[in-house]
Structure 1
């Protein structure tokens, strides 16, 4: 009687498999009946060793199938040359979500689980999703929106700040389900939640163009030839390989400093992901040798000291003078 009542078995698929195997092989059927005999019953709910084996097998099989189909789908999307990198990533995420959702319902169907039996827990389950997974779903939707409007995409260079508030820049390596992976020049990897990039202000160096203007501060002596100094600054910037010829470098005089006349060299690059500090260093190194060859002085801090006269100071100077005269007299003797 128990075998005819499907509601007394926890997994309907297990019952069907056991009957099919028993009809084909009596020995195999006996083994399965033995496994099914070891069971725990809680009222009308019954779970046997055979049920557990079937559940584990189905779960692993469905997961493996979903993973395999997801990989094939991603390869197929990447072969579509009409899509750019951002569109390919967006399609891959949508396909992945569809595949895993289909795998979930396939597993439910194979196990023969009646979803109406979970109606009692639907309220608590929905509440748990609402409070516990709202950030996860929020970041997932935010990531899809970012890919759709192409405001943030893999390969972009954006400004990021560390825990101490120091700002640096990094390149977006990956847009995941939960966060965006940004790698800086010192190989620090920041995982920024998708929601933060969507609702907060983001400085994207390569949103509409990868051209970035950088500044190199230079100071020269007040006695230097300013026209020659500007010419050498432009020459040093133009000789750097990564500095663009168009727009060309420019030099601005910024201020009269305490010890120097200060200039700023403005030059453009189109590969900010390769770094900015190394370009600044290359310009300064070339400018150093050009200044040396042309006699342009790079100043250092100088101070004029004024001593106020006093009787005590005069006595000290008099003692120094006496000691000097005595020393010269001894030397003559």
Structure 2
């Protein structure tokens, strides 16, 4: 039984924010070359000593005992790991974990999604930066849109409870992209989410040329009759919008909006087992050394102590991106 279920304090920081959601990177490797993240492709930095399946099980069990109920496996591209099905199964089998999510670029989704669903996957996010085939290829570095869309249809066929698409909001041709995604979710029970482009240490020039505030989508949604919905307690940072003529929804993640960090409910652990208190913070805390037998109490204590140092919010507005080089380090 988790502390939260038992009436215990769960995980909270000095600002009263409660944490129910863990984003766990399982690799830094990515096989796409997205213009906003890895335009030159993945380049190995040191030995690839990523968390093993057993280490992931121990780590997730510790967080579950502290009240975490939702875990998202991310990367890099998590499905480049050959043991991704075992990772999903290990997380899903953890007492207290009710939602097991995966963020993927969808490159092998059609072939494997049924097995991942059988292993315990409940929530799926697929990165689809445009529904125009040529623009998708230009952004991601490969002509893979038909295969990715086939994988999304295959995911829906499995009865996956939640399927979402992630698209980075770019200044060039934003409104045509809004229109394409709105048409796509008209008859599909999918949420298409636009994520405001975020500055990182390696993309300053790209950010300056391509960033557009999330308000551009908000204005468009309002004009088209979309209505914002309440956020779920263990949901991510998106605001979702519904329309009476659409089965699906449109979402917006706007990290530059005022008060974005006020409702933070998620923690991040890197593929090497280091706790990150903020995507755009600096420094991290080694949890891997506590993943041996008999270290459960020490691990829980270290996580709790770390939360006392979580800041009120990021400093993106001041141009401070922390020590994040690119989003592939942590999966966003």
TM-score normalised over the length of structure 1: 0.19
Bigger radius of gyration among the two = 1
**Bigger helix fraction:** 1
- Structure of greater relative contact order (alpha carbons < 8 Å, 6+ residues apart): 2
